[in-house]
Amino acid sequence: MRVVVSGGSGFLGSHLCEALLGRGDAVCCLDDFSTGRAANVAHLRTRPGFACVPCDVTEGVRVGGRVDAVMHLASPASPADYARRPLQTLAAGSRGTEHLLDLAVRHHARFVLASTSEVYGDPLVHPQREDHWGHVNPVGPRSAYDEAKRFAEALTTAYRTARGADTGIARIFNTYGPRMRPDDGRVVSTFVCQALAGRPLTVFGDGRQTRSFCYVDDLVRGLVALLDSGLDGPVNLGNPAECTVLALAELVLELTGAPGPVRRAPLPVDDPVRRRPDIGRARARLGWEPHVPLAEGLRRTIAHFTAARGAPEPAVGR
């Protein structure tokens, strides 16, 4: 297959490009390098079948040659990034999604949207199943991202019903691993970088809020399974092992041998209290489940950041 991956130079996108090339697909990566890095795919540039094209997908998408599948990952994704770029985030979810759906329709290609657990907002049911409609503040600090992704899901669904597009929607839960930016403000990259620098770990609020962290290799395997399936509706992709932010901080301190301590900082507005995917649909329809336990994934992530020493210091707090 020849697969177009928007956002292919980002954290998830670069691992996805690698996985697709690894199984013999050709990959055309489109990226504007706004939150991703060309260095993430530099090692792929000499691989046969790989192309990386600078492109802002909100302005239009032109791809020559055959296209068998389109995977739309281009969007600011960390809370710090989308807080800095709210208009670009809304444009990536709306105009960007439309341009990539048009590309898929023109080529009769399968389209996969990288959506998010954020469509559930601060969820009213726990764990979250795909039939939860969500609890989202449309005018809060997270709204540009949450509503962009909700609109992107609606647009993807409408292309399916109105234009006969072959579409799938991945609702991705917190994913971590090598190639996260040290300054993206996300909790795993921030804690690991703080620990390696011997600085206190910034725990927001009382640290009792939960997330469920999925290692990147597991997540990418799920995205590829969704691409290969005919599954149409949304499907949760994430690791159902739930963990408090405080427990994550303690685990990072244990694995790095850093002295700590943790430093409390204010909880951001609208920060979801609990988050954990119900992955029953992914198990049943894709035969997918994650395998990498949190401690093992963190060890690999810590090794990556240790090797990348000299990279910029992480943004502390928000």
Give the whole-angstrom CA distance, residue 73 versus residue 20: 14
- DSSP category for residue 75: S
Whether the CB-CB separation of 218 and 291 falls below 8 Å is answered with yes
Which one of ligand NAD, ligand UDP, none is in contact with 67 (Cβ closer than 5 to 8 A by kind)?
none
Work out how close the CB of 227 gets to ligand UDP at its nearest, in angstroms, rounded to a whole number: 24
Work out how close the CB of 69 gets to ligand UDP at its nearest, in angstroms, rounded to a whole number: 27
Active-site residue flag, 145: yes
Residue choice 49, 200, 240, 268 for contact with ligand UDP (CB under 6 A): 268
Closer Cβ to ligand UDP, 101 or 180, answer by number = 180
Which one of ligand NAD, ligand UDP, none is in contact with 268 (Cβ closer than 5 to 8 A by kind)?
ligand UDP
Can residue 203 be called a binding residue for ligand UDP (CB under 6 A)? yes
Whether the CB-CB separation of 92 and 58 falls below 8 Å is answered with yes
Can residue 85 be called a binding residue for ligand UDP (CB under 6 A)? no
Give the whole-angstrom CA distance, residue 92 versus residue 73: 9
Tokens encoding 230: 């005919």
Which of these is catalytic: 82, 120, 145, 159? Answer: 145
Tokens encoding 41: 């795919």
Work out how close the CB of 250 gets to ligand UDP at its nearest, in angstroms, rounded to a whole number: 12
Give the whole-angstrom CA distance, residue 239 versus residue 291: 9
Distances, alpha carbon 46 to alpha carbons 21, 42, 43, 51, in Å: 12, 8, 7, 9
Task: List residues binding ligand NAD (CB under 6 A).
Answer: 6-7, 9-13, 30-36, 55-58, 73-77, 92, 96, 114, 116, 172, 174-175
Catalytic residues: 145
